[in-house]
Amino acid sequence: MLQGWIQISLTLLIVIATTPLLGRYMARVFMGKQTLLDPIINPLEKVIFAISGVRPQENLTGRQYAKELLCSNLIMAIFAYFILMLQGWLPLNPTGLDAPSWDLALHTTISFVTNTNQQHYSGETTFSYASQVFALGFLMFTSAATGLALGIAFIRGLTGRPLGNFYSDLIKAITRILLPISIIGGLLLIVAGVPETLAGPAIATTLEGATQVIARGPVAHFEIIKQLGENGGGFFGVNSAHPYENPNGFSNFLEMWAMISIPSALIYSYGIFANNRKQAWLVFWMVFVIFVFLIGVAAVGEFQGNPLVNSLLRGQPPNLEGKEVRFGWAQTALWAVMTTATMCGAVNGMHDSLMPTGGFTTLFNMFLQIIWGGQGTGTAYLFIYLILAVFLTGLMVGRTPEFLGRKIEKKEIVLASVILLVHPFAILIPWAIFFGFHSTLLGITNPGFHGVSQVVYEYASAAANNGSGFEGLIDDTLWWNLTTSISILAGRYIPITALLLLADSMSRKQLVPITTGTLRTDTRIFTGVTGGVILILGALTFFPVLVLGPIAEAFLIARVG
């Protein structure tokens, strides 16, 4: 038991140590300051800007920024969709795979272009190397860069700066952050044993004399951007539980650090933009405390195991069903909470096998979306809660709410409400429709309360752009492919548009002089109030679903056990 807690603690300490380093670097990149990579990247970016016609110094309005973001994503989606549908005619297809069904290809394209990477297929038996590299791998970089660009634009607007240029931010996010770290991380994964080859499957003869086909491919570079970009889509069907995606403890740690590094560091980057690192650290620790609490809840549940199973065995062994013994209960619990907290969605164990406490924490993360949240979007959502906390506390003391010296008025509150209300609508409406017709729509493979969690998890994963699932759901059907695609699109682009309009509105406001009556937002009291607002709003919105799912399941197991 002690070893497991030590592993969790060391991982979290390393995350804390690297947060200011990466956060400071990202701030310098997007503030146009000098960095160590300038001699290498500047000539490359000049060529890219010259060929594309992008004017990096041109500042866009919120509407213009949103328009360029949406148009670029649409074009990239069309490009990727045609690659998937034409993969049978393209090279790099050593196993001769045909095109998937139109609805699966559509769902996969929408899922990857939105940084969701929800997979209703098994990668090694569905998509060729060309599809995995040129379509899905390409979208892993661009979708992550899109989210990061949004987060930076939102921070700029919040701190009174022009929003910047979308294409410039997109290119910088790839060339200066995602690509350099991916190159180093990919090489480390190759050293750790992750394959990177265009050769076809290996043919092996087992000890019994049978023939075994072992899938492989260009996995290492795919794996690192999957984690770093919070994409989550695996090259293989079992994702990071596969020994070719995650062979040992070192690769497991590297992949966990990669998935949390940017969202945690972006909070620190905000502190530099706002010239208020104190507030950045307060917000960081608020999120960190909730994060650690949820890790504890999940880890304790997995260590204690299932009492129904424990009664048949001596002692109380950890719950190892559905887990890789290479990582055990502690690393699986930590990964499960981290992958849903960061909206990465990659798995190193099956979430369907988690105890009810693990199911509760993973769902709770996706309901809130801010611990630590998606690539760029999570930080933006976090400050939406800060704005709401300012509004509520302003009402209590009878003052016009202000944030960073700018008044929060009707327009900002309306946009903030839209951002937060889209999420439950995108989850609860299709969830309710499914249970109204579940006998004909099918898909559930778990009985009782766990089946309820299985369905709501699928839609929460889609709307939160997470992509993980309670595997076992029969989801490669027309119903699941289309309805989850709608939830993915609504959960991604409606909030993004509203965030950019809100940031644009904040950037145009005049500074209000600070007085003795000004509510300071860089205090422990206000940070605590914000934490309370986050938890209360999350509980009030989704508590009935949690009661019908993991909470009811936990009481049932405890009663029977």
Q: How far is it, in rounded angstroms, from Cα 496 to Cα 268?
A: 21
DSSP string for 338-394: HHHHTT----SB-GGGS-HHHHHHHHHHHHH--SS-STTHHHHHHHHHHHHHHHHHH
Q: What are phi and psi of 203, to 5 degrees?
A: -105, 125
Question: Is residue 340 within 8 Å of 332, Cβ to Cβ?
Answer: no
Helix 524-546 × helix 356-368 angle, to 10°: 120
Q: What is the pLDDT along the chain (561 residues), one digit of tens a residue?
A: 678 888 899 999 999 999 999 999 999 999 999 999 999 999 999 999 999 888 888 899 999 999 999 999 999 999 999 999 999 999 999 999 999 999 999 999 999 999 999 999 998 999 999 999 999 999 999 999 999 999 999 999 999 999 999 999 999 999 999 999 999 999 999 999 999 999 999 998 888 888 888 999 999 999 999 999 999 999 999 999 999 999 999 999 999 999 999 999 999 999 999 999 999 999 999 999 999 999 999 999 888 888 777 777 666 678 778 888 888 888 999 999 999 999 999 999 888 889 999 999 999 999 999 999 989 999 999 999 999 998 888 877 777 788 888 888 889 999 999 999 999 999 999 999 988 887 777 778 887 888 889 999 999 999 999 999 887 788 889 999 999 999 999 999 999 999 999 999 999 988 877 766 677 888 898 899 899 989 888 778 898 899 999 999 988 887 765
Question: Is residue 546 within 8 Å of 364, Cβ to Cβ?
Answer: yes
Question: Is residue 265 within 8 Å of 22, Cβ to Cβ?
Answer: yes
3-state SS record for 280-337: HHHHHHHHHHHHHHHHHHHHHHHHHCCHHHHCCCCCCCCCCCCECCCCHHHHHHHHHH
Kind and range of the H or E run holding 66: helix 62-85
Residue with tokens 């887990």: 323
Question: Is residue 136 within 8 Å of 382, Cβ to Cβ?
Answer: no
Which ranges of 398-523 would DSSP assign to H, the alpha helix?
Answer: 410-436, 438-441, 448-463, 478-507
Question: Is residue 344 within 8 Å of 140, Cβ to Cβ?
Answer: no
Distance of CA 470 to CAs 297, 483, 515, Å?
A: 19, 17, 52
* Identity at 484, one-letter amino acid code: T
Q: Provide the token pair at 134.
A: 């040129």
Distance of CA 29 to CAs 134, 169, 237, 302, 408, Å?
A: 27, 9, 36, 41, 29
Kind and range of the H or E run holding 252: helix 249-273
pLDDT digits (tens, 9 = 90+) for 326-381: 888 889 999 999 999 999 999 998 888 899 999 999 999 999 999 999 899 999 99
Q: Provide the token pair at 159.
A: 């701190």
* Identity at 205, one-letter amino acid code: T
CA 209 remoteness from chain centre = 43
Residue with tokens 């990582």: 327
Spell out the residues 6+ positions from residue 340 whose beta carbon is closer than 8 angstroms to its own: 361, 362, 363, 365, 366, 466, 468
